[in-house]
Amino acid sequence: MTRITIGHLYPEHLNIYADRGNIAALERRCAWRGIGFEAIAIGPGDVLPDADLYYLGGGQDRDQLLIADDIARHAEPLRAAVDDGAGVLAVCGGYQLLGHYYRGHQGDEMRGIGLVDLVTEAGSRRMIGNIMLDCRLDGAAPQRLVGFENHAGRTFLGEGVQPLGQVVHGHGNNGEDGAEGVQQGSVIGTYVHGPLLPKNPWLSDWLIGRALERQGQDQQLTPLDDGLELEAQRVAAAIAAR
């Protein structure tokens, strides 16, 4: 049976606004299609296991500080895994740690793993609210992405680094340049919680598709009835537009 493996980094530390729900969404969409699914928790001190997709949720500065030194151990193994076709999904606090550094609200500077060329510095005003993006991954047809953001960090992408999407409603990476998140091949970072995936099933399927591709399985995913998910997305988009 086909099976995908998710390496869930720091589930005890990086899990706010129900970010763990992203794992549940992936697991369900795999189960509905008869695709096996395994999530491996990776805590401080653990060795990075082989996985098709690595996941990091969000966290307050305090929680990020607790794992910032530990995550540095994974910088090289994660880069190697990505070069080998693995994906990464990182939300908010996790997203910030994909970059070169995050300077927190109290001035704490946390070194990131430098997987993506971006930096983040906390501003005095938090960026809070419902958010909607227009995403065009890999030049595909535009997709709507909805959710909730709450961050002090302002992220700036390096020259030529592509955002995940353009902000339609909300703040995004820094509240200035209209960009939100990052996409670099199979690596996705975003400020969007909600959790992210249940209301944005197209992104779940993009991640599952990449994970299957890594295993050399270029199969078309069986379409699912996304009626409820799309209704939730429609309502979230209407709230974000208020």
Which residues have a catalytic role annotated? 92, 193
**Within the chain, how many helices (H) and strands (E) appear?**
6, 12
CB of 127 to ligand GLN, least distance (A): 8
Minimal distance in Å, beta carbon 191 to ligand GLN? 7
CB of 36 to ligand GLN, least distance (A): 30
Confirm if 190 and 95 have CB atoms less than 8 A apart: yes
Does the footprint of ligand GLN cover residue 172 (CB under 6 A)?
Answer: no
Interface with ligand GLN includes 174 (CB under 6 A)?
A: no
Instruction: Answer yes or no whether residue 93 interacts with ligand GLN by CB under 6 A.
Output: yes
CB-based burial label for 141 (10 Å; 0-12, 13-18, 19+): exposed
Q: Check binding of 170 to ligand GLN (CB under 6 A).
A: no
CA distances from 30 to 17, 33, 105, 162 (A): 23, 5, 39, 28
147 binds ligand GLN (CB under 6 A): no
> Is beta strand 101-103 parallel, antiparallel or unpaired with respect to 36-42?
unpaired
Best CA proximity match to 51, nearest among 2, 5, 115, 90:
5
Using rule CB under 6 A, residue 189 touches ligand GLN: no
Q: If binding is defined by CB under 6 A, does position 179 make contact with ligand GLN?
A: no
- 116: Cα separation from own chain's centroid: 13
- Identify which of residues 27 and 121 has a Cβ nearer to ligand GLN in the complex: 121
Binding site for ligand GLN (CB under 6 A): 16, 58-61, 64, 92-93, 122, 150-153
